[in-house]
Structure 1
């Protein structure tokens, strides 16, 4: 049964496995991450994305950026599993928003 203060997330690295996490932190990180990712490859590295999104995170949820790294990875893997964002080929990992022909899948 759904929990009002939780959201169920997936991971591209563990298909079929889900996890319940704090809805407020997930939503804040999702919004911040989508706000810094470009629409086209090659995208931005995870390190640059984190550096860019930290100022957009609510201080009451992420005081001084606490736990932002874990939440960034959780949201990244969930959005990849859902096809909202993609990785560009190569290293380091670079992320960008998934585009659908004729329109954009996600807007920030």
Structure 2
């Protein structure tokens, strides 16, 4: 699936902004509500499904090793993954 770069970048920035780097993370179910106020301006289409983009970009960020699911947390929680130096 291809996403416009500006749309991807806006959602990526919003997700990383609301995802804590430590602790119990943030509930996946809360991500849509948390990112919506950050998606202002023309980069994110007003008619776009925020929920769909949250899922797709979250999965991409997991694949790139930038965020991770918190082990043992149900319902699903995510946090930023510690970067190795």
TM-score greater than 0.5 by the shorter chain: yes
- Relative CO higher for 1 or 2, CA cutoff 8 Å, sep ≥ 6? 2
TM category (shorter chain) comes to 0.7 to 0.9
Instruction: Give every structure 1 segment of 4 or more consecutive aligned residues whose post-TM-superposition deviation is greater than 4 Å.
Output: none
Structure 2 CA distance for aligned equivalents of residues 73 and 43 of structure 1: 16
Q: TM-score, normalised by structure 2?
A: 0.84
Aligned pairs for 1:86-105 (under 5 A) are 86-89=68-71, 90-101=73-84
Gaps of 5+ in 1: 1-18, 103-108
- For residue 79 of structure 1, what is the aligned residue in structure 2? 61
Greater per-residue strand proportion: 1
Greater per-residue helix proportion: 2
Larger Rg: 1
C-alpha spacing 1:50/1:78, structure 2 compared with 1 (3 Å): same
Please state how far the C-alpha of 1:62 moved relative to its aligned partner.
3.6
